[in-house]
A and B are shown apart, each in its own frame.
Chain A
Amino acid sequence: MSMTRRLLCTTGLAAAVALVASPGLAQKKYGPGVTDKEIKIGNTNPYSGPASAYGTIGRTIAAYFEKINAAGGINGRKITFVTLDDGYSPPKTVEQTRKLVEREKVLVIFQGLGTPTNSAIHKYMNSRKVPQLFVATGATKWGQPKKYPWTMGWQPNYQTEGAIYAKYVLQNVKNPKIAVLYQNDDYGKDYLVGLRAGLGAKADSMIAKSLSYEVSSPTVDAQVVQLKNSGANVFLNVTTPKFAVQAIKKAHDLGWKPVHFLNNVSVSVSRVMKPAGYEKSQGIISSAYAKDPTDPQWKNDKEYLEWVAFMKKWYPRGNLNSSFNAYAYAVAKTMEHVLKQAGDNLTRENIMRTAASMKDVRVPMLLPGVMLNTGPGDFRPIEQMQLMRFEGETFKRFGPIIDAGGSS
């Protein structure tokens, strides 16, 4: 009897020692939503309502995590991707996010979509200390690690793009006089802020004229005439597609031949360049950070073909012409990278640390050479873009990858 007991004790002790000593086990640290077999990730997307066109992003991401799970998951853990509909309504986003955090107990909220929706949970996420990772919005406010250490953006923001055009102007245009046409809202103003930052001290002397328009206005013709008359030799065209078409036509018809920059928002060949007229669009400069799936130059690209294969197998309903689906693929790859890197230390703190220590990380469907870089003071993963010029019937990329980071 006592023998057995001693034996039991010894075995138990040995087992305990083994448990403590085993480095693999000792390192395991889990936050909410994580077990040896599972990592729970939350997400909100507009599957209904006015912005439901974006819902395809959530579906692509879900399909991608299914693919990962079929291949054994990440470090042996399956991803449970809980994605809820918020209809692009901020109060609903608050409710659904709280459901994900407090009921579903997800580890992180990933890729919540929209500026107002993410704004609504910004404080909540940071006071709860739950990562709000790689939000799907181009606003500038997501990269403030000091004030909001639990929130991180992903795509280049409008300021970054404005700064990239400023850099190009400083290097390539003699005696630049810049005219700006911008939409009178946060989006338009962000470009102006970026442009000024990029120009530096000379901004005031270089910007000859900046005029705005309201989304509700019928035309921007009058503004373009005034901008031309300012004698500017550079035209920064910060407009959404409908107004971009008008501005391109008007500038051409007036015989104004400035160095013409068109913001990335309106680089759609089918929606802007074609209706404006290819002959009137020649030479327009813009920028991009991701591969446009409709661009024939990627037809035989390895990453593009992989993406197509993925879409056909895991999300066959998905549209292969949609840049949203390519975007979702790239951002899901980013999340996969972070989870892989975090290893067995899957606490919320370590997820943020890992997300904030990406060094030249490459995810597919970004332009060749565009890398993800973050640091403790840099919560803006993509800050690189490449310029492109409209020639014939497509945009041709030129020059090096431009990095607008560092300053932020």
Chain B
Amino acid sequence: MADSSSPAVEAVAVANPPARAMSPARLAGIALALAVALGLPFVVSDFHSFQLTQAIIYAIALLGLNMLTGYNGQISLGHGAFYAIGAYTAAILIDKAGVPYWATLPAAGILCFVVGFLFGLPALRLEGLYLALATLALALVVPQFLRFRPMEGLTNGVQGISLDKPAAPFGLPLTPDQWLYFFALFVAALMFWAGHNMLRGRIGRAMIAIRDHHISAETMGINSALIKSTTFGVSALYTGVAGALSAVVVAFVAPDSFELFLSISLLVGMVIGGLASVSGAIYGGLFVQFVPNIAEEVSKAAPWAIYGVILILFMFFMPAGIAGFVRQIRGWLRKRLAGSPADG
């Protein structure tokens, strides 16, 4: 990691290995993870496939949030709002317009990009905690807005919208849960690939530079305003697509599905997974999905106290998130495995 040359990037080099082609070992690791992911639904029950699908969906949303907060340094307490907009876009298109479920994802993504970009423009004036408050307001407004009377023709108000769960196409011998798992996995793979490419490229470096020192970034010719609002848009796009997927998988949306707690959960998932880390989003998704369940298994009386304890333990033992912890272990392993030159 001593090979980073750009001064703007150097400051963060520890947290962000600079862009470089993936090593064969890394590629093999990813291939192995994908192979396991592809095999899982045939081993576990439908119910677990459904849970894993939700974890994948959270991972997509977290990657979106991580672009904004982890890579670009803009704190958002309101990503549940984009998740909700994405979910409702999908639900309304399916329910009112009869659009096939897979076609609603791009629509939800584009809409969220526009909303996110527009929200990002005024948010340019807000730094740090003030931006956090503005996004918090967004998270609070959206569920109210969905209940709002003039919107009821579209949103069905508090009753929400019920959807039918799609079956596997082309007569594939898969249960709906297995199929949706693969569908979500496919979408996630696509979005992670695109996200990874963006983050390790010119735009990603610009995002990081703005986060670390926006004045020097601007002197280097980076259009800070454009990058920041575009990041907001792309971040919202990711989260919106995740929301649309969740509407399809859960087959129901209602304002109560998107209360403030969702936004907080996403923030927690991102930090626990690892800030400014693509793989961190996956760990975070698993955390958001499964840790509340584990907490409930431990104590029915005070599950959220247990959740809090787990959270503190994670932060204490893995201050750089799970991704940072994994990175440490990898570095340690590499050192142990004889002085083979660091190639991965």
Determine the distance from Cα of A102 to Cα of B175 in the docked complex, in whole angstroms: 14
Q: Which of A98, A120, A186 contacts B157 (CB 8 A)?
A: A186
B250: A residues at CB distance < 8 A: 90-91, 94, 120
Residue of A nearest to B252 (CB): A120
Which residues from chain B contact A102 at a C-beta distance below 8 Å? 45-47
Known: A89-B257, A90-B254, A90-B257. A116 touches B304 (CB 8 A): no
**With A48-B303, A91-B246 as contacts: A123 and B162 at CB distance below 8 Å:** yes
B127 within 8 A of A: no
Chain B minimum-CB-distance residue to A123: B162
CB atoms of B51 and A91 under 8 A apart: no
Instruction: Write the nearest CB–CB distance from A254 to chain B, whole angstroms.
Output: 27
Q: Is B121 an interface residue (CB 8 A)?
A: no
Note all chain B residues with C-beta closer than 8 A to A95. Answer: 50-51, 54
Bound state CA distance, A95 and B289, in angstroms?
Answer: 10
Residues of B within 8 A of A94 (CB): 250-252
Q: Is B296 an interface residue (CB 8 A)?
A: yes
CA distance A87 to B159 in the complex (A): 17
Q: How near does chain A come to B164, taking the closest CB pair, in angstroms? A: 7
Interface presence of B160 (CB below 8 A) = yes
Residue of B158, B162, B165 touching A122 (CB-CB under 8 A) = B162
Number of A residues, CB within 8 Å of B: 33
| CB under 8 Å from chain B, chain A span 18-71 | 47-50
**CB nearest neighbor in A for B253:** A90
In the complex, are the beta carbons of B162 and A116 less than 8 A apart? no
Shortest CB–CB separation between residue B86 and chain A, in angstroms? 13
Which B residue sits closest to A124, measured CB to CB?
A: B251
B244 to chain A, nearest CB (A): 13
A138 to chain B, nearest CB (A): 13
Contacts of B218 in A (CB 8 A): none
B291 to chain A, nearest CB (A): 13
Asked whether A214 lies within 8 Å of B149 as measured between CB atoms, the reply is yes
Query: How far apart sit A116 and B54, CA to CA, in the bound complex (Å)?
Result: 19
Beta-carbon contacts of B13-26 to A below 8 Å, as 1s and 0s?
00000000000000
Residue A119 at the chain B interface, CB threshold 8 Å? yes
In the complex, are the beta carbons of A88 and B256 less than 8 A apart? yes
Interface pair A48/B162, CB less than 8 Å apart: no
Which one, A48, A99, A184, contacts B47 given CB within 8 A?
A: A99
Cα A72 to Cα B152 with chains together (Å): 51
A91: which B residues are within 8 A, CB to CB?
54, 246, 250, 252, 257
B10 at the interface (CB under 8 A from A): no
Q: How far is the CA of A388 from the CA of B20 in the complex (A)?
A: 78
Asked whether B47 lies within 8 Å of A116 as measured between CB atoms, the reply is: no
Given A84-B296, A102-B47, A123-B164, answer yes or no on A116-B159 (Cβ-Cβ < 8 Å).
Answer: yes
Contacts of A87 in B (CB 8 A): 261
Assembled-state Cα–Cα distance A103/B50 (Å): 12
Q: What chain B residues lie within 8 Å of A303 (beta carbons)? A: none
Give complex CA distance A240, B28 in Å: 61
Complex: A115 Cα to B159 Cα, angstroms: 7
B162 — which chain A residues lie within 8 A by C-beta?
119-120, 122-123
> A116 contacts B160, CB within 8 Å?
yes
Is B214 interfacial (CB 8 A cutoff)?
no
Residues of chain B within 8 A of A120, CB atoms compared: 160, 162, 250-252, 254, 257
- Near A by CB (< 8 A), chain B positions 289-326 give 296, 300, 303-304
In the A-B complex, the 4 residue pairs with the smallest Cβ-Cβ separation, listed nearest first, are A120-B252, A116-B254, A102-B47, A116-B256
Q: List 23 A-B contacts (CB under 8 A).
A: A48-B303, A49-B259, A89-B259, A89-B262, A90-B253, A90-B257, A91-B54, A91-B250, A94-B252, A95-B50, A95-B51, A98-B50, A114-B256, A115-B158, A115-B159, A116-B158, A116-B159, A119-B162, A120-B160, A120-B250, A121-B252, A185-B157, A216-B144
- In the complex, besides A49-B259, A120-B162, 20 extra interface pairs with C-beta distance below 8 angstroms are A47-B300, A48-B303, A48-B304, A89-B262, A90-B254, A90-B257, A91-B257, A95-B51, A102-B45, A102-B46, A115-B159, A119-B160, A120-B160, A120-B250, A120-B251, A120-B252, A121-B252, A123-B164, A124-B251, A216-B144
